[in-house]
């Protein structure tokens, strides 16, 4: 029996843990404590098995100001850390891999520099490189979710799967950070089209909605990234993870 992996998101801006509504810092940026490293330790103490980090400074300005924090997080917890934000070239990839992250999530570069992305993917492979699909009304958005591409997410996902991508992180941007409920359709369609593993991101409000995603495990949707609902204690985190591990979470 398989169980849903719940992944806390640590969104970093100017060295602090924040929750950014719809991925747009200018729209609303609420702080949740000043120390992302301590936040990672808290989630690990709550028995989480995987952490997702988004660097909004890197995504918006190609800044490396949060790099020491990411290195500290990787060295402070003994669980895999996934990173997204601001990857523009192969040097950025090497810099991030050297921090100790286990997996890099990319989007902008795969769209704007497909040849360079292909070289990176061939070097590091599908275990280390995943694709983020940030979607607004079925259209992919990039560069910190600020730029519309005119590219349909299903067409792009299929193309990436043909290259060998085995993991997609699917986000309905309009539901991200507003507790609007998850968009199950986007994730289901990506899983069906690509036959790849899918992590659903955005909109989760409560345990019932986690159960809705749990019911899609047979569709290759095996994990969910949760941010605001965890930070605002909308369900008891420790009990949540331990129930999942005990086999009761079905």
Cα-to-chain-centroid distance, residue 153: 16
Q: Indicate the pairing of strand 16-20 with strand 5-13.
A: antiparallel
CA distance 203 to 172: 8
Is 115 in the active site? no
Is 35 in the active site? no
CA dist 90 → 94, 122, 172, 176, 243 (Å): 6, 12, 28, 29, 41
Catalytic residue among 92, 134, 172, 222: 134
Catalytic residue among 11, 57, 92, 222: 11
CA distance 233 to 221: 24
Structure tokens given for 46: 């709550």
User: Where in the sequence numbering do the catalytic residues fall?
Assistant: 11, 134
């Amino acid at each position: 029996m398989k169980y849903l992996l719940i992944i806390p998101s640590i969104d970093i801006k100017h060295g602090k843990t924040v929750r950014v509504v719809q991925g747009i810092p200018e729209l609303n940026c609420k702080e949740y404590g000043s120390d992302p490293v301590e936040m990672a330790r808290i989630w690990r103490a709550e028995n989480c098995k995987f952490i997702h980090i988004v660097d909004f400074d890197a995504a918006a300005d190609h800044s490396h100001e949060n790099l020491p924090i990411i290195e500290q997080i990787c060295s402070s917890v003994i669980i895999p850390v996934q990173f997204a934000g601001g990857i523009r070239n192969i040097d950025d990839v090497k810099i991030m891999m050297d921090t100790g992250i286990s997996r890099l999530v990319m989007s902008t570069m795969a769209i704007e520099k497909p040849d360079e992305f292909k070289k990176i993917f061939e070097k590091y492979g599908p275990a280390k490189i995943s694709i983020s699909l940030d979607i607004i009304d079925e259209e992919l958005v990039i560069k910190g979710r600020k730029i519309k591409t005119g590219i349909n997410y299903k067409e792009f996902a299929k193309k990436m799967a043909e290259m060998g991508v085995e993991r997609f992180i699917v986000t309905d941007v309009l539901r991200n950070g507003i507790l609007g409920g998850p968009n199950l359709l986007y994730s289901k369609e990506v899983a069906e089209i690509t036959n790849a593993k899918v992590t659903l991101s955005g909109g989760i409000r409560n345990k019932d909605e986690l159960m809705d995603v749990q019911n899609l495990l047979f569709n290759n949707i095996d994990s969910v990234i949760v941010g605001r609902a965890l930070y605002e204690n909308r369900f008891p985190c420790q009990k949540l993870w331990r129930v999942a591990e005990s086999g009761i979470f079905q």
